[in-house]
């Protein structure tokens, strides 16, 4: 099923790793001392990371449906 939203770490990541523990498909990894990053190929768009991120570093973006 095509995703309608995309989640992305935009900035202000506190490196807390909460999102990494929340993600059901292990789509998030941490670039040490920099930021968490979401692998868009693995992400299923569940929103758990977005809801869990206290500093609101993760943004939700609407995307066009892909075939
Ligand atoms: S939950 Fe937010 S602040 Fe914490 S590692 Fe993930 S993106 Fe960064
Ligand atoms: S939206 Fe869900 S699947 Fe995608 S990175 Fe966040 S927790 Fe993982």
Residue 4: its pLDDT value, please?
85
pLDDT of 66 > 70? The answer is no
Ligand 2 probe mutation, 1, 25, 57, most atoms within 8 A of CB: 25
pLDDT of 65 > 80? The answer is no
- Report the distance separating Cα 46 and Cα 33, nearest Å: 26
36 forms beta bridges with 30
pLDDT in tens, 1-59: 567 899 999 999 999 999 999 999 999 999 999 999 999 999 999 999 999 999 999 99
What number does the ligand 1 atom closest to the CA of 12 have? 3
Residue 18: its pLDDT value, please?
98
Q: Quick count: other Cβ atoms within 10 Å of Cβ 42?
A: 12
Residue 58: its pLDDT value, please?
98
Residue 11: its pLDDT value, please?
93
Query: Which phi-psi region, left, alpha or beta, contains residue 22 (left: φ > 0; alpha: ψ -120 to 50)?
Result: alpha
């Amino acid at each position: 099923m095509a995703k309608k939203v995309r989640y992305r770490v935009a900035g202000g990541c506190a490196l807390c790793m909460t999102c990494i523990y929340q993600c059901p498909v292990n789509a998030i990894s941490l670039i040490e001392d920099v930021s968490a990053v979401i692998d868009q190929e693995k992400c299923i768009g569940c929103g758990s990371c977005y809801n869990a991120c206290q500093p609101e570093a993760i943004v939700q973006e609407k995307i066009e449906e892909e075939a």
